[in-house]
Amino acid sequence: MTKTKIVSLLTGASLLLGASIAGATDCKKAVEVPDASKILEKDKLKPPKVWKMPAGCISTDPKVIAIGKYIFHNLNGKKAKTPPPPGLSKTQMKPGKTYKPGDKIPPKQYGNCVACHNIEGAVGAGNIGPDLHHYKEHFIDTKARDYQYVYQQIADARINNKDTRMTINLTTGLFTPEEVCAITSYVVSDKKEK
């Protein structure tokens, strides 16, 4: 092989190499890197908030307790096996979204508290959170907890434990104060089931 031939071979190889590197650079440019900061900001959890229990919040009305119980034991309006009790909707419009007649309204989200807590009558309860059986006798009647504590725990558990694993229900707007009152009323109620 002559010297010129070797040089031209080498040049050819480096040209090829150069082309493939240029190709790689182009590919990189083709990958979209969308700015997700706005979405992340929207989904960010709001800071912990102290919630004062509204006056007359705790009720012994069976209708209110039935609402709290249903929210406790169910995930959402689609997954629930029984219809919700009077006063509780199966579907809920997303805030800020406009619906035309005939549009599908999404299922309402409930608490699914049983995913983490066992309680009277629970089916397939989880054990991430404490067992809430006999909550009234063990926690309220003994004055270990008061209604305000339970209300705050359900509204925003981060006030009672900054590292909590429990879901945040009122600060996130998942439930209304009335619904948190219904859930609290259920937790502190006298229960007949085992």
Which residues contact ligand HEC (rule: CB under 6 A)? 72, 111-113, 115-117, 128-130, 139, 145, 150, 153-154, 157, 160-161, 164-167, 169, 183, 187
Query: 35 to each of 32, 43, 46, 63, how far by Cα in Å?
Result: 10, 14, 21, 47
What is the phi-psi region of residue 96: left when phi exceeds 0, alpha when psi lies from -120 to 50, beta otherwise?
A: left
What six digits make up the tokens of 186? Answer: 């259920």
Residue placing its CB nearer to ligand HEC in the complex, 105 or 174: 174
Please work out, in degrees rounded to the nearest 5, the angle formed at the alpha carbon of residue 123 by the alpha carbons of 122 and 127.
70
CB of 185 vs ligand HEC, minimal distance in Å: 11
CB of 172 vs ligand HEC, minimal distance in Å: 11
Residue placing its CB nearer to ligand HEC in the complex, 88 or 154: 154
CB of 117 vs ligand HEC, minimal distance in Å: 5
Residue placing its CB nearer to ligand HEC in the complex, 11 or 89: 89
Are 182 and 71 spatial neighbours (Cβ–Cβ below 8 Å)? Answer: yes
Cβ atoms < 10 Å from Cβ of 188: 22
Q: How far apart are CA 131 and CA 129, in angstroms?
A: 7
Q: How far apart are CA 71 and CA 73, in angstroms?
A: 6
- Residue whose C-alpha is closest to residue 83's, from 101, 60, 110: 110
Residue placing its CB nearer to ligand HEC in the complex, 29 or 165: 165
CB of 158 vs ligand HEC, minimal distance in Å: 8
CB of 153 vs ligand HEC, minimal distance in Å: 5
Residue placing its CB nearer to ligand HEC in the complex, 90 or 167: 167
